């Protein structure tokens, strides 16, 4: 456990080295937040509400989503597949720390960095221009729990996609499709409540809504009291379920490893 | 003078010849990994479809967006998407200049007797990116046929001119934002706001934007000339802020100005280049 805490802390420190990249990313998240917010506002000029969302909900959702993309890690990570392709993963498997736990610690280290340096500013800039909704003080613990769970759910999905490289060597096709499904069905571009009923049901029945839509809904106060506990519990269940599948797949993958080269 | 002109033309022909041979070599090498190539092509096609899915979801809830019907927005998506895909296929590779500067390998590009831009484009050329053309291309044809355009010769000719101008605008933006890499190599994502963000923006009528953002995309980063003004001209749609529909005819001029600006910035940036020496 101590090792994992150190891994997370060192990941955080490693991230602080890339200041220019952080600034550029902040700019991009903010620009996309504004674009999507204006498009959604145009929708609300045609009708007063969509599903359970009014215009303020939708615009707030957009900025929460843009702030959380990096925190949750929706865009995926090419590091592990690359290490599998080159065979460097063998070194990772030799370490006296579990590979899956190690990478999850890295994900949480990054998440902590992104909360401070990539999440607050785009939301604040959105709030400066648009009318955004802030959660009641009692909701914050639920929101934090929901984001913590979302990081693990998204990690579980990414990890599975990356493991496909053990079988395919070139995971880019599969990973590309898997990440695209996650980006769209998590509600990043349009909130899930805008979807046609069948697609909304699908997004909520799969782990994708747990990655972004659910934390944003908790932020907006759509889940209160027992309902908040239920929805965060569902996220935790997804995180554990994906982690369990990841373990099984990893165990099978390791048996396939052939060390190439000399 | 006449000889110098002939020399330049000859030189351009030689460079183009080499460029096409390099592209052919890249395509042959990609074709060695057929399954991977087909899967990646499919992924690219679906990626372009994500934006279409967003538009479809929105129009599942409304009949018109800022006065534009689904087919009319499809026209915007088609023109902007095809232009973006062409720029992505041929010009987006300029992004890799950051990697070469970091590794010190950009020196090679300067030593060879060919434009570094063409070399970069050929070096990372990937035919799978053409998958991005499919969906906007199909939607463009459907929208052109079904959006109720009253065809005149001028409107007919505007379609290819608008696509070509849009491609030039996106390519120029790619070159401009990649030029920053010569000063700082880690700000690549900054360019994404203008390229991918720009592509997203061209898919919607710019009336949805706030007044200051609207001015920005008309006069500063001229994305409004990629799809919005051409589509307004094709549909004879009056602009809510009073710009005449003929504004669209300025698209090639705007694109040319942007390309010249990008060229000037790129040449200055290359002159600024100092190798890491590693």
Of A21, A41, A45, the CB nearest to B187: A21
Task: Find which of A18, A25, A32, A38 to mutate to test the B interface (most B CBs within 10 Å of its CB).
Answer: A38
- Mean pLDDT value across residues B76-97: 94
Retrieve residue B81's tokens.
């998407």
Q: What pLDDT score does B2 carry?
A: 55
Any domain includes A96? yes
**Distance separating alpha carbons of residues A262 and B23, to the nearest angstrom:** 35
Checking if the pLDDT of A262 tops 60, the result is no
Number of domains, chain B = 1
Domain range for residue A80? Answer: 2-256
Percent of chain B's residues with pLDDT above 70:
98
Any domain includes B161? yes
**Distance separating alpha carbons of residues B75 and B79, to the nearest angstrom:** 6
Chain B residue with Cα closest to A32: B197
Reported as a pLDDT band with limits 50, 70 and 90, residue A258 is low
Task: Give B-chain residues touching A25 at CB under 8 angstroms.
Answer: 189
Percent of chain A's residues with pLDDT above 90:
68
Q: What pLDDT score does A65 carry?
A: 95
Rounded mean pLDDT of chain B?
89
In this predicted structure, which of A210-214, A228-232, B5-9 has the lowest mean pLDDT?
B5-9
Q: What pLDDT score does B20 carry?
A: 92
Any domain includes A262? no
Any domain includes B25? no
Any domain includes B194? yes
Q: What pLDDT score does B272 carry?
A: 85
Any domain includes A217? yes
Residues 6+ apart with CB under 8 A from A198: none
More confident residue, B102 or A145: A145
Burial of B230 (0-12, 13-18, 19+ CB in 10 A): buried
Task: Find which of B52, B69, B189, B224 to mutate to test the A interface (most A CBs within 10 Å of its CB).
Answer: B189
Q: What is the pLDDT of residues B169-227, one digit of tens each?
A: 999 999 999 998 888 877 777 888 889 889 989 999 988 988 888 888 888 889 999 99
ipTM of the complex: 0.88
Angstroms from B80 CA to nearest CA on chain A: 16
Q: What is the DSSP string of B69-136?
A: EHHHHHHHHHHHHHHHHHHHHHTGGGGGHHHHHHHTTHHHHHHSSS-HHHHHHHHT--GGGGHHHHHH
3-class secondary structure for chain A? CHHHHHHHHHHHHHHCCCHHHHHHHHHHHHHHHHHHHHHHHHHHHHCCEECCEEHHHHHHHHHHHHHHHHHHCCCCCCHHHHHHHHCCHHHHHHCCCCHHHHHHHHHHHHHHHHHHHHHHHHHHHHHHHCCCCCCCHHHHHHHHHHHHHHHHHHHHHHHHHHHCHHHHCCCHHHHHHHHHHHHHHCCCCCCHHHCCHHHHHHHHHCHHHHHCHHHHHHHCCCCCCHHHHHHHHHHHHHHHHHHHHHHHHHHHHHHHCCCCCC
Q: What pLDDT score does B277 carry?
A: 61
Q: What pLDDT score does A51 carry?
A: 86
Q: What is the pLDDT of residues B10-34, one digit of tens each?
A: 888 888 999 999 999 999 988 888 8
Task: Give A-chain residues touching B213 at CB under 8 angstroms.
Answer: 34, 38
Reported as a pLDDT band with limits 50, 70 and 90, residue A259 is low
Reported as a pLDDT band with limits 50, 70 and 90, residue A260 is low
Task: Give A-chain residues touching B43 at CB under 8 angstroms.
Answer: 172-173, 176-177, 180
Checking if the pLDDT of B111 tops 80, the result is yes
Angstroms from B254 CA to nearest CA on chain A: 23
Contact A67, A123 (CB under 8 A): yes
**Distance separating alpha carbons of residues B75 and B146, to the nearest angstrom:** 10
Any domain includes A244? yes
Number of domains, chain A = 1
Percent of chain A's residues with pLDDT above 70:
98
Q: What pLDDT score does A176 carry?
A: 83
Residue B243 is given by DSSP the state: -
Q: What pLDDT score does B215 carry?
A: 86
Checking if the pLDDT of A63 tops 80, the result is yes
Task: Give A-chain residues touching B197 at CB under 8 angstroms.
Answer: 28, 31-32, 35
Contact A177, A95 (CB under 8 A): no
Burial of B72 (0-12, 13-18, 19+ CB in 10 A): buried
Any domain includes B24? no
Domain range for residue B194? Answer: 33-272
Contact A112, A8 (CB under 8 A): yes
Q: What is the pLDDT of residues A177-195, one digit of tens each?
A: 888 899 999 999 999 999 9
Retrieve residue A96's tokens.
């006296």
Task: Give B-chain residues touching A114 at CB under 8 angstroms.
Answer: none
More confident residue, B47 or A104: A104
Partners of residue B68 on adjacent β-strands: B65
Between chains, do B186 and A20 touch, taking CB under 8 Å as contact? yes
More confident residue, A180 or B165: B165
Q: What pLDDT score does B223 carry?
A: 93
Any domain includes A137? yes
Reported as a pLDDT band with limits 50, 70 and 90, residue A196 is very high
Between chains, do B197 and A174 touch, taking CB under 8 Å as contact? no
Any domain includes B126? yes
In this predicted structure, which of A30-34, B35-39, B262-266, B273-277 has the lowest mean pLDDT?
B273-277
Checking if the pLDDT of B142 tops 60, the result is yes
Any domain includes B164? yes
Any domain includes A261? no
Task: Give B-chain residues touching A34 at CB under 8 angstroms.
Answer: 213
* Cα–Cα nearest to B50, from B209, B203, B167: B203
More confident residue, B187 or A199: A199
- Mean pLDDT value across residues A57-80: 90
Angstroms from B210 CA to nearest CA on chain A: 7
Reported as a pLDDT band with limits 50, 70 and 90, residue B48 is confident
Q: What pLDDT score does B181 carry?
A: 86
């Amino acid at each position: 456990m101590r090792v994992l805490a150190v891994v997370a802390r060192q990941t955080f420190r490693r991230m602080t080295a890339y200041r220019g990249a952080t600034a550029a990313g902040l700019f991009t998240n903010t620009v996309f937040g504004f674009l999507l917010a204006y498009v959604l506002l145009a929708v609300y000029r045609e009708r007063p509400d969509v599903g359970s969302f009014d215009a303020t909900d939708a615009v707030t959702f957009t900025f929460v989503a843009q702030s959380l993309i990096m925190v949750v890690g929706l865009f995926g990570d090419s590091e592990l597949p690359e290490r599998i392709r080159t065979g460097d993963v063998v070194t990772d498997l030799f370490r006296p720390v579990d590979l899956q736990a190690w990478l999850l610690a890295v994900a949480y280290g990054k998440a902590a960095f992104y909360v401070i340096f990539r999440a607050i500013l785009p939301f604040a800039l959105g709030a400066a221009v648009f009318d955004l909704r802030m959660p009641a003080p009692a909701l914050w613990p639920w929101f934090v729990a929901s984001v913590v769970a979302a990081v693990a759910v998204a990690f579980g999905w990414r990890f599975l996609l990356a493991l496909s490289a053990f079988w395919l060597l070139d995971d880019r096709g599969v990973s590309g499709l898997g990440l695209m499904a996650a980006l769209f069905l998590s509600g990043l571009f349009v909130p899930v409540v805008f979807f046609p009923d069948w697609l909304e049901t699908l997004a909520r029945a799969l782990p994708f809504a747990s990655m972004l839509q659910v934390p944003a809904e908790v932020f907006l106060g759509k889940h209160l009291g027992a309902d908040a506990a239920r929805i965060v519990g569902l996220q935790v269940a997804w995180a554990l379920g994906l982690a369990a599948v990841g373990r099984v797949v990893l165990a099978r993958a390791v048996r396939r490893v052939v060390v190439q080269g000399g | 003078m006449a000889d110098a002109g002939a020399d330049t033309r000859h030189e351009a022909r030689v460079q183009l010849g080499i460029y096409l041979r390099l592209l052919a070599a890249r395509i042959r090498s990609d074709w060695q990994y057929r399954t991977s190539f087909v899967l990646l092509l499919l992924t690219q096609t679906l990626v372009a479809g994500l934006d279409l899915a967003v538009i479809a979801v929105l129009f599942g809830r409304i009949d018109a967006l800022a006065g534009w019907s689904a087919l009319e927005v499809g026209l915007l998506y088609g023109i902007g998407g095809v232009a973006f895909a062409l720029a992505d296929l041929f010009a987006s590779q300029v992004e890799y200049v950051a990697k070469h500067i970091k590794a010190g390998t950009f020196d090679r590009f300067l030593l060879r007797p060919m434009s570094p831009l063409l070399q970069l484009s050929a070096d990372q050329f990937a035919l799978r990116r053409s998958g991005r053309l499919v969906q906007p291309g199909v939607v463009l044809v459907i929208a052109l046929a079904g959006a109720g355009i009253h065809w005149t010769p001028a409107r007919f000719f505007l379609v290819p001119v608008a696509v070509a101008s849009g491609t030039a605008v996106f390519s120029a933006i790619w070159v401009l934002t990649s030029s920053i890499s010569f000063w700082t190599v880690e700000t690549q994502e900054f360019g994404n706001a203008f390229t991918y963000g720009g592509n997203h923006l061209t898919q919607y009528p710019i009336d949805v934007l706030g007044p200051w953002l609207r001015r920005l995309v008309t006069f500063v980063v001229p994305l409004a000339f990629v799809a919005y003004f051409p589509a307004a001209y094709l549909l004879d749609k009056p602009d809510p802020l009073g710009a005449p529909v003929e504004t669209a005819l300025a698209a090639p001029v705007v694109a040319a100005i942007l390309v010249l600006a990008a060229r000037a910035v790129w040449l200055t940036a290359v002159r600024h280049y100092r190798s890491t020496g590693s």
